[in-house]
Each structure stands twice: as C-alpha cells, then as structure tokens.
Amino acid sequence: MDIKAPTDSQDEISSRDLDQAYYYLQRNGASVEADVNLLSLRRKIDSRIVPIMFCAYTMQFIDKVLLNYAAVMGLNKNLKLTSNDFTNAATAFFIANLVAEIPNGYFLQLLPPAKWLSINVVLWGISTACTAAATNYHSLLAARIFLGVFEAAIAPSLMLFSSQWYTKSEQAPRFSFWYCGLGVGQIVGGVVSYAFQQVKREGFEGWRIMFVVLGMVTVIVGVAIWLVLPDNPMKAKWLSEAEKGVLLRHVAVNRTGIVNRRFKLFQTSISSGVVTTYSATLIRNFGFTSPVSALLNMPSGIVSITSALVVGYGVRQTSNRWAWIIACCIPGVLGGGLMSFAPSNNRAALLAGIYLVNCITAVLPVIYQWTAANVAGQTKRVVSVALIAGSFSVGNIIGPQTFQAKDAPQYIPAKITVLATQAGAAVVAFILFSYYVWANRLKGGTRVVEEQSQQDLWDGRTDKADKYFRYVY
C-alpha cells in the first residue's frame, strides 16, 4: 500500500480530529525512513510492556478471587455470614465494576492511560488489604464494592495498550499472554490459600493475613506501572525517534489510531462468574478438605494458561476468531455437562468438569482483541472496550446469583447455567462472524486501496464511517 504525502488540499479533514500520531510523524518525517529491523523492534516492545501488563492482570485476578479461597478458610464463619450473604458480596464486586466502567471509558480518553491504570491498581491493592479488617457482612460488602470500582480500569486499559503497539494480526498472542495472568492467578491463589491455611492465629486469621500480603504486592505492581509503562508509543523513552516512527507507520494499517483526546459523543460471561467465585467451594463440596480443595483448584490455572496460549497462537496464524471461540465453548459445554449430570460419587468426573469449563477463559482475550481490532474512532473505541469489560461484569453478576443457598451442596441450577451459556456463546460467535462478512461486502469486500494519505490513516473516523476500514473475523 502506497502512502501519499499529505497535501494542503485535504483540509476537509478537521485537524482537530487527527490522531496525535499523525502530528508526530509530520514532525519526525525523516526518521520514519530509517533502517529499523521490525522483528527486533517487536521483541523490544514485547519485553518492555507485556510483562508488566501480565503482572497487573495476574494481581487483578488474584485479588478478585481471594474471596473464593477465603470462603474455604473460615471467612463465612468469622464474619457470621448467613444465607446468601457470601453470594451477595461476590455479586457486589461486579455491580460496582459495571457501574465504574461507564466513567472509566471517559477518563481513559482524557487522561494518560498508564497513569490512570497505575492509580487504580494502587487503590485496589489498598482495598484488598482493607478486606482483612472486615468484621461483618456490611464491612465485607464495602471492601468488595471499592475493589470492584478500582479494578474496572484494568481490562479496558490493557486492551487499549495492546492495540496501540501491534497490528491486528499481532495483537492476539499478546492479548493471550497477558491474559494468562488469570491462569497463573489460579495456580498462585491455590498455593497461597494452602499456605495461609496453615497459619493458626486467634484474632488475625490466615485469610486476613492473605488479604494484607497480596494487597501490598498489588500496590507494588501499581507503582511499577507508573514507572515502567509509557502512555503511548510516542512517550516511550526506551525507543529512538526512528523506532517510534517505524512503529507508527507499521500500526497505521489498523486505522484505529493511537491518541485522540477529543471526546465525541456521537461515537458513542456468566460461566466466568461461576468459575472465579465458586470453584473452590464446589471442589470442597465433592468431599475434599479445605486445604486439598485449594490445591485441587490449581489445575484449572494450567487449563486456562494452555487454552489461552493455544488460541492466541491459532488466531495469529489463521485468524478465524469466531471458530476459535466455538472451539473453546465445546469443552466448556462438556464440562458443564459433567458438573451437572455426573454421579455425585464420581469425583474424578466432577473434577474433570470443573477443569474443562476453564477452557472458556480463553474466549475473553479473543473478544477483547476482536473488539480492539474492529472498532475505530478513539471515543468509540474507548467506550466500546469499557462496555465489553462491563458485559463481563454482567455475566459475573448473574453467575454467583445462580448459586442459591437452597440449592446447596450440589448447585445443579448453577451448573446447568454453565452448560447453557457456553452453547449460547458458540451461536453468538457464528452470528457475529456472519455480520462482519456481510458488513465487509457492503464496503466492497476485501478490495485493497492502492493510494491513501497519512491523513486518511489517522483522521479518527469510526469503522462505519471509514470506507477503507475492513473488519477482521
């Protein structure tokens, strides 16, 4: 694709709508032609930003699901929780998370995203540590609400960071890698829970110490984000001017922009909730002790990591995001079936069901990347990624509510919900694939545009308004 030099005759594009990357390229036009090895540049970027995103997502997941492990460590008894108090506390996190996503999309566009994420990580680390001070249901509820508000920044922020630095085809494995923090969190959470269950201390139980220690670790990660993660490629001190220029030219094909502070109003999973909130409780109800239940939850993390990496690599090589989502839903359906209908004395089948359900976790990074790749226009994109993160919260609000005290200890309605939602997700993925094929045909199929100006690439139009934009699927 040839890129024409901008001309004064293209004044029909409002300068206010042009991305900041456009102006950077104009100021440093000579450097973009420098001899920079793109493969080496990509590796350099990977080593600098992916690990810190991975650490942030790992701590986000661990802090969110500590309640899951604390439940088998005596939290319910110590706080005198009754009936559906635990379920409501789990749900409160996601309600707060959902509500916070609404302003989060606005702040992500107007404020430096790395600094915004750093502040929120530090604050949710403090909220995690403060959970140790809970003395009853209401104080636990307050801690979970604050945690939900501050964790709302993580998914939209990481989606935006990943889409700034990589082309659409390069994004999938990077999304999957930092999303592996979920699986690592499951493994680490099991080990940490087991370790702190060995602490026998009156007045300051093991689960309280666990919240304090991991909250402090999260605060450290938040400070590291402020120091290490640049707000955008143009602000990366560890890239030369030539490397920045080459990178911006490389990702320009996304047609989704890098930074545009103008907020434009006109642009404006249930199974996961089961897995993250109740997996340890389900395993304990199979007849295992609390420490063993924590350890038996660890293979779920291995399944999550493996499925995320396989799917991320598969999307990078073949695209077909819709097919990979369906491929993840199939073991999810099988796992839901085993959890729902296997005999209660067949613990191997029940455990296999829980582990298989964790294959569905690989669907979320694909959805994240699909959204970041197919939504153009800075305002529309930040709002869209916030809405996607919010929809995840909706699923997690519904998920724990399927676990009602009257259904204990088998929770059959909740398990059937897992099965049904996975089947529904596969159908929705195919419908979305069909829509994108249809939308591309309306725009002229996959016709390659031979000549485009720099302003065409960075003019901030939405995916629907940009006649050259093509959806990926």
For the segment 28-57, what is each residue's pLDDT rounded down to a tens digit?
764 555 677 888 999 999 999 999 999 999
Cβ neighbours of residue 268 closer than 8 Å, sequence gap 6 or more = 379, 380, 383
CA distance 451 to 235: 29
Please give the pLDDT value at position 128. Answer: 95
The tokens describing 91, both together, are 């749900």
Please give the pLDDT value at position 9. Answer: 40
CA distance 102 to 322: 27
> Mean pLDDT of residues grouped by 10 in the chain (473 residues)?
41 54 69 72 91 93 88 87 84 86 80 92 95 93 94 88 84 86 86 84 84 95 94 88 84 69 43 58 74 80 87 84 88 81 82 85 82 74 73 71 67 72 84 88 61 58 74 83
Average pLDDT, the chain: 79
CA distance 105 to 156: 8
Whether this prediction's pTM lies above 0.85 is answered by no
State the Rg of the chain over Cα: 23
Give the closest residue to 188 by CA, choosing from 362, 286, 66. Answer: 66
CA dihedral over 20, 461, 102, 423, signed as positive or negative: negative
Please give the pLDDT value at position 15. Answer: 46
The tokens describing 438, both together, are 């249809």
